[in-house]
């Protein structure tokens, strides 16, 4: 198991939680940035850290 891939997946989940919290309190720019960051983390994880 690739530890860095697991950490990046956990970080993506954390970013989704941050985004949902930001949406709840009305900070929509912060939520959008967190969702975008989570998407980029997932993309980079799948592209470089997870084997084919």
Distance CA 25, CA 46 (A): 31
Does the pLDDT value for residue 52 go beyond 60?
no
The predicted model gives 19-43 an average pLDDT of 98
Parent domain of 45: 3-49
pLDDT greater at residue 51 or residue 7: 7
* 50: region left, alpha or beta (phi > 0 left; psi from -120 to 50 alpha): beta
Number of domains in the chain: 1
If DSSP codes are grouped into helix, strand and coil, which group holds residue 7? helix
In this structure, are residues 34 and 15 in contact, taking their beta carbons and an 8 Å threshold? yes
CA quadruple 34, 37, 41, 43: dihedral positive or negative?
Answer: positive
The predicted model gives 14-41 an average pLDDT of 98
């Amino acid at each position: 198991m690739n530890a860095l891939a697991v950490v990046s997946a956990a970080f993506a989940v954390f970013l989704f939680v941050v985004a949902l919290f930001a949406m709840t309190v009305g900070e929509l720019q912060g939520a959008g940035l967190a969702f975008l960051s989570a998407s980029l983390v997932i993309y980079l994880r799948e592209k470089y850290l997870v084997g084919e």
